[in-house]
């Protein structure tokens, strides 16, 4: 006979198959997460395992690999990284050894990151690349590491530097370039003696302002000023050519990232002047910020990481996981600054917008809100959203960053718990009422009747032949009342369980059920004499509730009950061949019997399975773990 099978948990597989299936799911999720993160990089990115083998590459790497003769199917995935470098033009053995040594230091945890500049021959032309390596933690295996390598083509910068080194004065072509700003300054005072016309466009200051004393130093970003000045002072007396990277503050308050290529004119001990080129690398620096933040996502997969720049307010990064949580493509959030608010549930939107606006304005010390978002298909998800602010030296907000976590399941669990708590309170009140009625209607009335009979018995002469019969009748009623009170006490708290153990207590329960007309065939196998109190009480209550339900609802007069221990798991099975029922109606049931069984078993780390169908009987199986050190044989 086909039975409808209902289980509170997933359909049971063997432990090995469960482990294999879960590992496969974890692996697929990890692959998708890593791939989605590195695909947002615009530079060539490869992820290496602990052996230096390429495991993941992004789209930019694939295009690079295709141009340089690597297989269009693998793009180098599965190959040794250094072998791929040699195939794509890295011929210098010293450079290869240096890169290999740096990667090994990352794997050995000597360093957390490195940078290496190298050149290679590609299609007959020399190209320069800056490779930046970072060590990533693997959340599923903290003891293992990955290496993320980002490759940036810096050939244009190197060519400009070479041009600068080979010319005494900037050419007209360079002076008029909109991307390169030539400059010249006195070596002692650092006062500008020449600045390209595009400086006005880049930073907004008139050219005549650049020629004022201390202009360069005073317009450096406060966080970069000391390091830029010290580094320039040191390098200008040691090297004829060097590079600086720092920020200057534009006239409108914007920080502008500059790559400064400097040449010392004259002997190093007594230089006459400094010449250089400013290159605006703000876009590159912002991209690097995004990529750095994206790397953090490898340890926060499944949460929405967002990054907002102020003045003007705009989203400059939101993690791809927003699509699964909020149902919109990440690209949709980059247009309108507060597009995300349109996704917030209409009943929560005003509250969230007030809190967010007050936080950005400095009127609130922190921002943490729980709210609902409505997906395009009408589904509602809950988010726990919190953020942090970054301020500039003047105290103005420059960035807002945060993480929004999907707490839909948590909210559903809280609602389920709230409903269950309400039902539990109702059940407790009903049980109190039942006990009160039993005490009043049965115990109290029986005692009152006995009191009347005793009063009458006192008036009966001792010579009356019916006196003895009356006394015996009262004794029988007192014994019955005592048994009823004992049974009531046993239902409230089984004393035999504490004094005798689980198996004897259940045998006594089976005898009690037999007196009520339900025959229980009970067996036990390899059960310890004692169990942890919480485990013993849980199994006893499951047996008690299951037998009570069988007697009341099954329509049969016999059931099978078994207890068995295998290793550290105790399994209880209760079977009957009665009416059966549809388990799907349990969630809508007003009673708490089977629901309380599930909650009880779950509270001690176990699982409960209920299998039944109309006309096919019922089987209840509880599996509970026991801790060996708390089990006494």
CA distance 288 to 294: 10
189 occurs within a structural domain: yes
Report percent pLDDT > 90 for the chain. 18
Residue 141 scores a pLDDT above 60: no
Higher pLDDT, 294 or 140: 294
430 occurs within a structural domain: yes
Q: The CATH number of the domain where 382 resides is what?
A: 3.30.450.20
List b or e across 328-352, with b for residues whose CB sees 16 or more CB atoms inside 10 angstroms: bebebbeeeeeebbebbeeebbeeb
The 8-class DSSP code of residue 211 comes to: T
Give how many domains the chain has, as a whole number.
5
- pLDDT-derived band at 139, boundaries 50, 70, 90: very low
| CB neighbour class for 416 (10 Å; exposed up to 12, middle 13-18, buried from 19) | exposed
- Domain of 597? 493-633
612 shares a domain with 539:
yes
Q: The CATH number of the domain where 567 resides is what?
A: 3.30.565.10
CA distance 275 to 168: 9
149 shares a domain with 245:
no
Residue 277 scores a pLDDT above 70: yes
443 shares a domain with 366:
no
| Boundary (domain end) residue, out of 100, 129, 153 | 153
25 occurs within a structural domain: no
Q: How many CB atoms lie within 10 A of CB 443?
A: 15
482 shares a domain with 503:
no
Segment holding 163, helix H or strand E: helix 155-166
Higher pLDDT, 287 or 280: 280
167 shares a domain with 274:
yes
Cα three-residue angle 381-386-387, rounded to 5 degrees: 140
For the chain, the first-to-last Cα distance in angstroms comes to: 41
245 occurs within a structural domain: yes
7 occurs within a structural domain: no
| Boundary (domain end) residue, out of 109, 129, 153 | 153
The 8-class DSSP code of residue 443 comes to: I
Strand pairing of 397-406 and 304-309? Answer: antiparallel
411 shares a domain with 393:
no
Region 302-308: what's the mean pLDDT?
A: 81
Residue 376 scores a pLDDT above 90: yes
Residue 228 scores a pLDDT above 60: yes
474 occurs within a structural domain: yes
| Model confidence pLDDT, tens digit, residues 610-633 | 888 888 889 999 999 986 444 333
Asked if residue 522 lies in contact with residue 540, where contact means CB atoms within 8 angstroms, the answer is no
515 occurs within a structural domain: yes
Region 507-521: what's the mean pLDDT?
A: 88
626 shares a domain with 497:
yes
Query: And the tokens for 579?
Result: 């009416």
166 shares a domain with 144:
no
| Boundary (domain end) residue, out of 153, 171, 204 | 153
190 shares a domain with 274:
yes
473 shares a domain with 387:
no
607 shares a domain with 486:
no
The 8-class DSSP code of residue 630 comes to: G
Region 102-122: what's the mean pLDDT?
A: 76
pLDDT of residue 73: 67
303 occurs within a structural domain: no
Higher pLDDT, 565 or 170: 565
Residue 355 scores a pLDDT above 80: yes
500 shares a domain with 616:
yes
């Amino acid at each position: 006979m086909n039975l409808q099978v209902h289980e509170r948990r997933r359909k049971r597989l063997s432990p090995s198959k469960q482990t294999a299936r879960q590992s496969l799911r974890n692996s697929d999720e990890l692959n998708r997460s890593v791939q989605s993160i590195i695909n947002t990089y615009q530079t060539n990115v490869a992820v290496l395992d602990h052996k230096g083998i390429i495991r993941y590459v992004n789209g930019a790497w694939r295009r690079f690999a295709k141009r340089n003769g690597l297989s269009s199917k693998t793009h180098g995935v599965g190959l040794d990284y250094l072998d791929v470098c040699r195939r794509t033009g890295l011929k210098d053995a010293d450079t290869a050894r240096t890169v290999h040594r740096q990667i090994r230091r990352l794997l050995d945890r000597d360093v957390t990151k490195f940078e290496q500049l190298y050149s290679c021959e590609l299609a007959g032309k020399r190209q320069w690349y800056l490779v930046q390596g970072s060590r990533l933690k693997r959340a599923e295996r903290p003891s293992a590491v990955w290496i993320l390598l980002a490759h940036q083509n810096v050939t244009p910068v190197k060519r400009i530097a070479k041009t600068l080194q080979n010319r005494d004065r900037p050419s007209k072509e360079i002076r008029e370039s909109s991307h390169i700003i030539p400059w010249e300054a006195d070596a002692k005072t650092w006062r500008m003696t020449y600045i390209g016309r595009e400086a006005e466009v880049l930073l907004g200051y008139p050219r005549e302002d650049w020629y004022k004393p201390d202009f360069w130093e005073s317009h450096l970003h406060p966080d970069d000023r000391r390091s830029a000045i010290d580094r320039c002072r040191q390098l200008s007396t040691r090297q004829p050519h060097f590079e600086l990277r720092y920020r200057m503050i534009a006239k409108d308050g914007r920080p502008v990232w500059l790559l400064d290529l400097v040449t010392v004119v004259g002997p190093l001990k007594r230089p006459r002047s400094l010449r250089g080129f400013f290159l605006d690398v703000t876009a590159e620096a912002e991209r690097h910020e995004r990529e750095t933040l994206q790397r953090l996502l490898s340890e926060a997969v499944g949460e929405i990481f967002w990054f907002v720049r102020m003045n003007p307010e705009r989203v400059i990064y939101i993690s791809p996981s927003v699509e699964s949580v909020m149902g919109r493509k990440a690209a949709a959030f980059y247009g309108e600054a507060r597009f995300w608010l349109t996704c917030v549930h209409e009943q929560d939107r005003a509250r969230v917008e007030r809190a967010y606006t007050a936080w950005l304005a400095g009127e609130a010390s922190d921002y943490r809100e729980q709210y609902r978002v409505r997906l395009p298909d009408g589904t509602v998800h809950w988010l726990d959203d919190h953020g942090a602010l970054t301020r500039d030296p003047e105290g103005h907000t420059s960035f807002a960053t945060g993480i929004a976590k999907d707490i839909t399941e948590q909210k559903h669990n809280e609602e389920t718990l709230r409903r269950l708590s309400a039902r539990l309170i109702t059940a407790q009140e009903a049980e109190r009422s039942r006990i009160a009625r039993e005490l009043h209607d049965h115990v109290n009335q029986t005692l009152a009747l006995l009191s009347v009979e005793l009063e009458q018995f006192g008036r009966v002469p001792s010579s009356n032949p019916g006196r003895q019969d009356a006394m015996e009748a009262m004794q029988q009623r007192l014994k019955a009342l005592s048994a009823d009170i004992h049974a009531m006490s046993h239902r409230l708290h089984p004393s035999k369980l504490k004094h005798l153990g689980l198996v004897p207590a259940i045998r006594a329960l089976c005898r009690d059920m037999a007196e009520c007309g339900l025959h229980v065939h009970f067996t036990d196998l390899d059960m310890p004499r004692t169990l942890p109190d919480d485990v013993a009480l849980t199994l006893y209550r499951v047996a008690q509730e299951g037998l009570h339900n069988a007697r009341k609802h099954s329509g049969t007069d016999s059931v099978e009950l078994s207890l068995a221990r295998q290793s550290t798991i105790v399994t209880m099975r209760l079977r009957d061949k009665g009416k059966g029922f549809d388990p799907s109606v349990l969630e809508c049931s007003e009673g708490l019997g089977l629901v309380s069984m599930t909650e009880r078993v779950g509270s001690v780390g176990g699982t409960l399975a209920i299998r039944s169908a109309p006309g096919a009987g019922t089987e209840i199986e509880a599996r509970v773990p026991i801790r060996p050190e708390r089990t006494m044989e």
